[in-house]
Structures are given as structure tokens and as C-alpha cells.
């Protein structure tokens, strides 16, 4: 069971890191802001799923995963509140971009979410490797 948890958690972190690489490619190649935000948000989401595997809690909903991250990792002081802020902001902007019409995403938001996603994934990987 422990081996299965480790394999799944590692898989989720690898997904997160691939999403970061995809985000960098999109940024460098002039990808759309919506696509960049999508990949950056998903990098954070996959990292959260890796954490939830570690504590043996699952959810099929994005909002549920975010709430569990806040409850088990931010409120417990494992990760700082700014990581919660980044996750929530990434989710909100991705939702607007993916599901609303005529949404404009600023270059500032794109770069901010990308940087926060990189930091988020790095901190989660460091935590999981302890």
C-alpha cells in the first residue's frame, strides 16, 4: 500500500512538473493567455493531488481538492497562506477563461500565476521528498 501511494504521489508530481514545462513552452512560443493559465493552474492542482495521496484523502472535484489543501496543509501551517491564494486565484482565472465569453486575461496575471505555480510545485515536491 505504501509503495502504491508513493507511486501515485510521484506520478501526480510528475504531471505537475510537465504542466509547468508546457506553460513555459506556451509562454515562450506566444501561446494564448487562457492556455497558459490553464496549464499553470493544473500544475498546482496536480501537486495538490499528490499531497492528498500522501494523507489518503481523495476528491474528484477541483473545489474539493482546494478546500482539502487549505484544511490539511495551510490551516495546519505546513504551507503558507500565499500558496492558498495562488491556487484560488489560478482556479478562478482558469474558470473564467475556460467557461466565460469575451474574457481578457492580463499579461500581468499570466506571469504572476505562472511564477506562483512554479513556486507551488517546487515547495510541494520539497515537502514530499522529506
Q: Write down the pLDDT at residue 100.
A: 80
Q: Write down the pLDDT at residue 88.
A: 98
Scan for cell 514530499, then name that residue: 128
Within 10 A of 104 (CB to CB), how many other CB atoms are there?
Answer: 9
Domain range annotation of the chain: 2-128
Q: Write down the pLDDT at residue 1.
A: 59
- What is the average per-residue pLDDT within 100-118? 91
Q: Residue 101 carries which DSSP code?
A: S
Do residues 5 and 52 lie in contact, with contact meaning Cβ atoms separated by under 8 Å?
no
pLDDT of 102 over the 90 cut = no
| Alpha carbons 60 and 110: distance in angstroms, whole number | 26
Mean pLDDT of the chain: 95
pLDDT tens for 32-79 read 999 999 999 999 999 999 999 999 998 889 999 999 999 999 999 999
pLDDT tens for 42-52 read 999 999 999 99
Q: Write down the pLDDT at residue 52.
A: 97
pLDDT of 21 over the 70 cut = yes
Residues for the chain: how many in total?
130
pLDDT-derived band at 92 (thresholds 50, 70, 90) equals: very high
**Exposure letters 30-48 (e unless 16+ CB within 10 A, then b):** ebebbbbbbbbbbbbbbbb
Architecture of domain 2-128: Up-down Bundle (1.20)
Within 10 A of 81 (CB to CB), how many other CB atoms are there?
Answer: 11
Within 10 A of 7 (CB to CB), how many other CB atoms are there?
Answer: 11
User: What is this structure's pTM?
Assistant: 0.95
Do residues 19 and 40 lie in contact, with contact meaning Cβ atoms separated by under 8 Å?
yes
Amino acid at each position: 500500500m505504501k509503495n502504491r501511494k508513493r507511486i501515485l504521489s510521484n506520478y501526480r508530481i510528475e504531471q505537475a512538473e510537465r504542466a509547468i514545462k508546457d506553460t513555459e513552452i506556451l509562454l515562450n512560443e506566444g501561446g494564448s493567455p487562457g492556455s497558459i493559465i490553464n496549464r499553470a493552474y493544473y500544475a498546482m492542482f496536480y501537486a495538490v493531488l499528490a499531497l492528498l495521496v500522501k494523507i489518503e484523502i481523495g476528491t474528484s472535484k477541483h473545489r474539493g481538492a482546494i478546500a482539502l489543501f487549505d484544511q490539511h496543509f495551510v490551516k495546519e501551517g505546513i504551507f503558507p497562506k500565499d500558496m492558498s491564494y495562488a491556487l484560488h486565484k489560478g482556479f478562478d482565472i482558469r474558470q473564467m477563461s475556460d467557461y466565460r465569453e469575451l474574457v481578457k486575461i492580463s499579461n500581468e496575471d499570466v506571469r504572476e500565476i505562472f511564477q506562483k505555480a512554479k513556486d507551488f510545485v517546487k515547495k510541494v515536491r520539497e515537502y514530499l521528498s522529506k
